[in-house]
Structure 1
Amino acid sequence: MNGGVDLSNCDREPIHLVGSIQPSGFLIALSTDWIVKHASSNIGAWLGVEPDALLGLPLSEVMDEEALHAIRGRLQLSLINGSVERAFRVKLSASALPLDIAVHLSGQSIIIEAEPSEPDSELDVGSMVRAMIGRLQRTADFDACCREAARQLRSLTGFDRVMIYRFDRDGAGEVIAESAVRGMPSYLGLRYPASDIPKQARALYERNWLRCINDVDAPSAAILPPFGPEGEPLDLSMSVLRSVSPIHCEYLRNMGVAASMSVSILRRGKLWGLFACHNMVPRRLSLERRTAAELYGQMFSFLLEGVERDREEAYEAKAHLLHTRIMAVMADGASSMENLERLRGEVGHYIRSDGFAIVLGGQTLVDGSTPTPEELLGLVRMLNRAHASRVFATSEIAQVHQPGMDFAERAAGMLAIPVSRKPRDYIIFFRKESVRTVTWAGNPDKPVEAGPNGQRLTPRKSFEAWKETVLGQSEPWTEADLRIADSLRITLMEVVLRLADQAEEERRTARERQELLIAELNHRVRNILSLVRALLAQSRAGVTRVEEFAEIVGGRIQALARAHDQLTAENWKPSPLRPLIAAEVDAYLGHRAERVVLSGPEVLLSPPALSVMALIMHELVTNAAKYGAFADSGGRVKVRWSLDDQDALELCWEESGGPPVQAPTRQGFGTTIIERSVPHELKGEATVTYALAGLRARFTIPAIHVSLAPERPAVVEAAVTPCAAADIPLGGTVLLLEDNMIIAMSAEDMLLKLGADRVETVASVRQALVAIADDPPGMALLDVNLGTETSFPVAERLRELGIPFLFATGYGESAIFPEEFRDVLVLRKPYDSEQVRRGLQTVRGAVAGRRED
């Protein structure tokens, strides 16, 4: 040790390999076949057999069968629970005094420790601890709970002083509660540097809930032999009698402590703090009473976790309220800078600050106590080197940014929230310098002095309150501050700013939206051309004259045209039924249209349903003109419709007053349209009755086509380009975002056959983002249009993470992507397995090539 010496030197001490135990009991280490491998040097006083005579013997030669049975049973539980198991008041032989036994497995060694039982003990551990925890649950608040917990543990153990010692994020500790006999010096409120409890000791506190030192001056009992057959020392990490580090003994002596006990307080498996128990004279607690103290510490830890859950629920409610208030503050049409400026008043209710700064798109806005705009630019450059998607907080800017020393009085601490990805934009909260006094238990920086164990082993001797004035730091940011800030970051990045940016982008992209409308028109024209082609093919049947063919086709196309005109007038939204029927009747009857009586509520039909009903009405009117009610001057037609209990539309066509009706001798295309269009296209029902007095037809259209349907947004498409990359095995997890269940199932089968280990199938942006956060995929296939949303937010997140992906769409050849996704490969629906394979290979190969570059 050539440099300066302080308490951090003990970080390298192997305290779990000390090779000795405290003399208040004995230890035997066995092989897995129950042969003695090690024994403590004091075992003769307990068993009447010296270590040399005991080594290599079966344990059954020194203990009777009943004791062995008890120990084996406890070992079985230890193996199941991974813990140290105890048995109380066990007699190793008929004439022996009762002992408390602890047993566990350490590596390949079975470790048995024994010590005297508490005489005439009637301790009911479960009842006692249950009553103690019940009292804690009735305390008013956290501080009162801690005070009562320390008082109860002192009553249980009889120690002179019991403290609750809580660790800070920097590893230092503070006494937050204390119970002591009268006349004891108080350590309440004192802080202890992180070096007082070295790292390896903290690791053992997380594994072993309880540590007891009966007498700091008692000589230890060595483990014999000190090393195993292969030269390894015995690992005593979980030992209940493990002897004490000389450094720690010296530390306790300097405090005037002769005996101590520590009970761990864990939260979510991590060391939160300790119950630290001190006695001014040696004191030994029985293993049974120590077990009660350990159980109490565990229950107190669970109680703390419950308090933490309550705080988390309160935080969630606060974060939700903040989100709601932010959404209300955001003004339609306002710029992002204006919107963010409005936030300070809302966020100030939850995050206290002295200054506020916005850095957005090259603009800077400051308010309150902050660095100057020039100083802020340097600070932002430092922040740009930090993680792009995390809140950055420090209570001492100068520690991470040296120029911060110049403005520490105005802004000593900051909490920076990134609100964009490219370029980096921030909302930054500042706190002024807070000159404060921290009270330490002795000077934490005072050099140590030479002592009985050499210079490096000597801890400080003074534990009197030592006050330190802290400059250049702000009040620390709390865990609640950080969590609310992170919630704000998510709200701003994923909701508010994205919507604001979209609004601004829409004002600048009129041309692109025009092209998008053209792509949508192209999609619809394709559908119309396909329908016309089918009408031409089906209308040929049974027609012998060109004129008749032209009349039939022309009539059907005109019916569709009238429906299309109505839909375009309504901007391709659900359209009213009554005008559709009236237009069709008027086209055939003109001034005689009063022969048709329409009755029913004003209902709207979805575009698919309106097109189907246009063809059906055309065929009904045409047939009535040729063979039915309109073929006679006195014939009439009633068309009635209503909504049933399920909100489905029921429509009835009833002819009367015409010539007698006969059923057709063959099934023509017109009849097929009337009888099969609604069931096939709309999944509804159709019934046609050829009554002598007149045709009767009844149609049921499902409610989904009668209620308002969301408008399908325009989307983008590009052709799949040939894959030039070599075949790369697919493998791993593939994220599939597709809102059509049938297409999703087919695509999932394709991906699995192409070699994907697992396909995570989701149907919405929210589900996709959750899946990516839980288990990032290796690749992704994203349907562009998802009903009322697009998959572009998912693509943004995948690109952030460097995960390859491609799009899929069923829209036209030249639709428009956002600028940042113009280079992304797109599959055109319907796609097959080969297209999927080539597409995924291409994007994966491109990513691999960029990584190699």
Structure 2
Amino acid sequence: MEHKASMVNLTIEKDYDSEFCGSIPLHLVNLIQPHGMLLVLDKPKLHIVQASENVEQYLSIPVDELLEQSLSQYISTKQFEEIQQKITSQSSQDKIPINLTLSVKDKKVAVTALVHPREEYVLMELEENFSNPDDNSFIGLYQHIKYITSLLKQAGSTQETAQIAATEIKKFTGFDRVLVYQFDPQWNGIVIAQAKEEDMDDYMDLRFPASDVPKQARDLYFSNPYRLIPTRNYKPVRLIPVVNPMTNRFTDLSDSNLRSVAAVHLEYLGNLNIMASMSLPLIIDNKLWGLISCHHKTAKNPSYELRSAMELLSGIISAQVASKERENAILLKAQLRGLHAQLLEQLYNSPGFADGLLSGATDIQKLLSLSGAAVIYDGGIWTSGNTPGKQELKELAGWLRRNQADKLYVTSTLPKNYIYSKEYKNKASGLIALSINAEQGEYILGFRPEVLQTVNWGGNPNQAIQMESDGKTYHPRNSFATYQETVKHTSLPWLAEEVEAAEALRSAVLEKIIKERY
């Protein structure tokens, strides 16, 4: 029996997760995007101690006149008390959304506020509220979400779920292109679903190097429900004063939706020929599984209500993907348990456990989708299927004994780890080794052959980061033309369920050996 492995689990030999990109402190930039304002308030009195320089543009009051003033001067008593009450009663640091009307001199400005209670201070993000109630009514958004959810429930696979999500989010939001992007085990991303305008580049099935979404950017998705850049041609806005008076440090903007973006990322968007972008995380079992990435050819700033609906949808899509993944895992586990039971019966009815594993109606090759298997035990070597020669098996067992753990060893890139196995890569690029007695070099070995895989990258991953001569300034690649790489010395990946089945089989074999001896 063969278990089909998703290409997303393919082991890429080179690590493209840039330590350089991953070390840049994105949250301490002291700059925001100009489509909103940022205030830093002390606790508990809510005096304004820091503000973005663009408050004058929105409120017609210089920053200096706003600083050290109480927020109560600019909103109604009812709204001020509501903010105080919510901050006091909320034990978590989750964002508190609230609609406010700011009154500055003779000017009134309706804003949507996101309040971030911190231990030492309060962050408040403000965006002008231009929403048309007819365009973004609760009932209208609810109906859209309900409809999309009903379609997602009908999906038969993860791929189908992702494609429905891409298609419907594009219709719902009006973005020119929507991609669903899944991370592989090395944090490269592969586009598994796409909906786009005809004149835009096709990224379906392309893989993008991990440095495109470096570690600290991935981590920020756990504190931000989305990342919005309404236009890449913006001028960053400073916070005044530069240092937060409450902490004597730069203000941590990890949770801020307005946080300014690294210049290299804006250049990256330009190379993609897009002006605006919005991305939402797909989080499964508290791990970043993938992203929904929305692109627009011109500037685009979705309303707060639409963004909130997209945030809700990303959670629903995550849940549906998780459901499909669990469903597939349950089905595979059930199949493997059935084979394990048959193999166990055969094992106990055979005179020797090697015969029970390697021959009969059900064997270890069927259980673990192997092309060949070997048992090295008590001075003997037994094989079935396509395996290395006996001397090569002895040397492999010796290497395992010297270098590996004494229970289970699994790799889909054996030639990379054990150089001598390159000689028989067509038989054993993948290895699963179940130790019987590691000290004596006794193992059950399962093999998978080399499977040459062509990986289509969105641009050359080796040129993902282009450093200038100063060693500090860098640029993203300027081409996303398909770059093909052939992955060698690699087998199909081992699924978690197969590894679990191998561990159960090892326990059964050890139990049989002990019973026979004692």
**Do both proteins adopt the same fold according to a TM-score greater than 0.5, normalized to the shorter chain?**
yes
2:78 match: 66
Encode CA deviations 1:584-612: one digit per residue, 9 max, x unaligned.
xxxxxxxxxxxxxxxxxxxxxxxxxxxxx
1:512-527 map, 5 Å: none
1:128 match: 144
Give the C-alpha shift of residue 127 in structure 1: 4.1
Query: Are 1:364 and 2:376 an aligned pair?
Result: no
**Which of 32, 35, 43 is residue 43 of structure 2 equivalent to?**
32
Change (3 A) 1:427 1:456: farther
Alignment check: 8 A CA contact 2:157 2:324 kept:
no
Query: Are 1:386 and 2:404 an aligned pair?
Result: yes
Give the C-alpha shift of residue 422 in structure 1: 5.6
Query: Are 1:217 and 2:210 an aligned pair?
Result: no
**Which of 490, 505, 508 is residue 504 of structure 2 equivalent to?**
490
Give the C-alpha shift of residue 458 in structure 1: 0.7
Alignment check: 8 A CA contact 1:448 1:455 kept:
no
The residue type paired with residue 512 of structure 2 is L
1:238-387 map, 5 Å: 238-332=255-349, 334-342=351-359, 345-384=362-401, 385-387=403-405
Determine which structure has the larger helix proportion and give its number: 1
**Which of 41, 48, 60 is residue 48 of structure 1 equivalent to?**
60
Encode CA deviations 1:807-826: one digit per residue, 9 max, x unaligned.
xxxxxxxxxxxxxxxxxxxx
TM-score (norm 1): 0.55
Give the C-alpha shift of residue 222 in structure 1: 0.8
Give the C-alpha shift of residue 280 in structure 1: 1.1
Q: Secondary structure at the match of 1:92?
A: strand
Encode CA deviations 1:443-475: one digit per residue, 9 max, x unaligned.
111375467998632111110101112222222
Alignment check: 8 A CA contact 2:232 2:276 kept:
yes
TM-score (norm 2): 0.89
Distance 2:223 2:338 in 1: 40
Distance 1:326 1:488 in 2: 12
Change (3 A) 1:206 1:365: farther
Give the C-alpha shift of residue 304 in structure 1: 1.8
Give the C-alpha shift of residue 228 in structure 1: 2.0
Distance 2:197 2:352 in 1: 65
- Provide the identity percentage: 28
2:26 match: 15
1:837 match: none
2:11 match: none
Give the C-alpha shift of residue 246 in structure 1: 1.1
Encode CA deviations 1:135-194: one digit per residue, 9 max, x unaligned.
210223322221110111112221110000000001111000001112111100100111
Change (3 A) 1:315 1:447: closer
The residue type paired with residue 484 of structure 1 is E
**Which of 414, 427, 440 is residue 431 of structure 2 equivalent to?**
414
1:429 match: 446
The residue type paired with residue 49 of structure 1 is I
The residue type paired with residue 384 of structure 2 is D
Encode CA deviations 1:242-286: one digit per residue, 9 max, x unaligned.
111111111111111211001000010100000011111111112
Distance 2:228 2:270 in 1: 15
Distance 1:351 1:288 in 2: 49
Distance 1:133 1:81 in 2: 29
Give the C-alpha shift of residue 407 in structure 1: 1.9
The residue type paired with residue 468 of structure 1 is E
Alignment check: 8 A CA contact 1:395 1:413 kept:
yes
Q: Which has the larger radius of gyration?
A: 1
Change (3 A) 1:498 1:451: closer
1:72-83 map, 5 Å: 72-75=84-87, 79-83=90-94
1:84 match: 95
Alignment check: 8 A CA contact 1:20 1:222 kept:
yes
Change (3 A) 1:199 1:286: same
Query: Are 1:501 and 2:511 an aligned pair?
Result: no
Which structure has more relative contact order (CA 8 Å, sep 6+)? It is 2
**Which of 241, 248, 252 is residue 231 of structure 1 equivalent to?**
248
Distance 2:459 2:111 in 1: 42
Give the C-alpha shift of residue 117 in structure 1: 2.0
Change (3 A) 1:107 1:423: farther
Give the C-alpha shift of residue 395 in structure 1: 1.8
Alignment check: 8 A CA contact 1:323 1:488 kept:
no
Encode CA deviations 1:768-801: one digit per residue, 9 max, x unaligned.
xxxxxxxxxxxxxxxxxxxxxxxxxxxxxxxxxx
Q: Aligned residues, how many?
A: 494
Distance 2:467 2:513 in 1: 67
List runs of 5+ in structure 2 lacking aligned partners. Answer: 1-15
The residue type paired with residue 137 of structure 1 is K
Encode CA deviations 1:15-51: one digit per residue, 9 max, x unaligned.
0111111100101011112121210000112233222
Change (3 A) 1:128 1:83: farther
List runs of 5+ in structure 1 lacking aligned partners. Answer: 507-853
